[in-house]
Amino acid sequence: MKIAFFWTWEFSRNILEWILKYEEMEVLLCISQPDKQIWRKKILEQTEVKKTAIKNWIKIMQPEKLKNNLELGEELKKSNLDFIVVVAYWKIIPKAILDIPKLGCINIHWSILPKYRWASPIQESIKNWDKKTGLTIMYMSEKMDEWDILKIQEVEISKNDKTQDIFNKFEKIWTNLLVTTLQEIITWKIIWKRQDDDLANYCSKIEKSDWKIDFLEEKGEDIYNKYRAYYNWPWIFTYYKGKKLDITDCFFEKSDLIFDKDFAIWDVVEYEDCGKNYIWVLCQDWIFVLNKIKLEWKNEVDIFSFINGNRDFLDYNFCK
């Protein structure tokens, strides 16, 4: 089974390492994004897939563009490919390339299609309180995430799962799912199905406005879901005295506590429970527990270290 991979991201590297353990899978070529410059060190950093390809003596190409790329097209054609497999490549694959492999181009998409198409499906699942998500393996066309579905495997979303947790769950299943799908295509044991476009939702590229907290408009549980969705990157943030404040570690919980009338919604308060102190932001019937934060141009610190240097943070109100 002759395969070329269009992959870039670290999770793609993990799949590639597993695929190489299967003797029937002959990886002839890896296509990755160009190396990126680390701006402080001013050196080029290799993509994770490139590092893995080099280690395993696999030919690597890193084209700036795919459309009308004759060199890439010729390299793919002479490889006599059965499949091209695409995971997190972040570029549109033109039809001239899609038509090259004998058995088609396959994409692994991290949602249950057609519910969430395009760029940020896991984040949307978490923000919408979905109980499950999944991996979809599909044939590719020039239209993103719209072609026939080959296989879907679902995973549960626990109430405190973050985006990274979902990827960790995917990592346990997607190699076997991919290998099984390719084997069933070759042996004609798989039946694909059309997507219902009427059920599709489109998840655009994450913008700065998406991870900004709007205390006036958003409920406590909505903010917590944003925190889960954007945990580790790019974080949720608000502003404190005109400076960007990233919330890097927090927790939300339902609460029926009755507070003193001197407190208002979105006040920052210190609360003691069972001999331990907490810093809370009051959110109607939710409590926003702050653990770690990062002020603009500063390092991440635990909340009590931050308060030691910013005493007026206590009793601060995020909506005044």
Render each residue's pLDDT in the chain as its tens digit; 320 residues: 999 999 877 777 777 888 888 888 899 999 988 887 765 556 777 877 888 889 999 999 999 999 999 999 999 999 999 999 998 887 889 999 999 999 999 999 999 999 999 889 999 999 999 999 999 999 998 888 888 999 999 999 998 999 999 999 998 998 899 999 999 999 999 989 999 999 999 998 888 888 899 888 888 888 999 999 999 889 999 999 999 999 999 998 877 665 556 677 888 988 887 888 999 888 877 888 999 999 999 999 999 999 999 999 998 988 87
Q: Does pTM surpass 0.95? A: no
- Which ranges in the chain are annotated with CATH 3.40.50.170? 2-203
DSSP code, position 250: E
Architecture in CATH for domain 2-203: 3-Layer(aba) Sandwich (3.40)
**Cα 245 to Cα 160: distance, rounded to the nearest angstrom:** 22
pLDDT, one tens digit per residue, over 91-114 is 889 999 999 999 999 999 999 999
Please list the residues that pair with 251 across neighbouring strands: 289
Q: According to the model, what pLDDT value does residue 38 have?
A: 66
Nearest alpha carbon to residue 195 among 256, 112, 127: 112
- Which ranges in the chain are annotated with CATH 3.10.25.10? 208-313
**Cα 85 to Cα 181: distance, rounded to the nearest angstrom:** 11
**Cα 5 to Cα 31: distance, rounded to the nearest angstrom:** 6
Instruction: Give the fold, CATH level 3, of 208-313.
Output: Methionyl-tRNA Fmet Formyltransferase; Chain A, domain 2 (3.10.25)
**Cα 83 to Cα 188: distance, rounded to the nearest angstrom:** 15
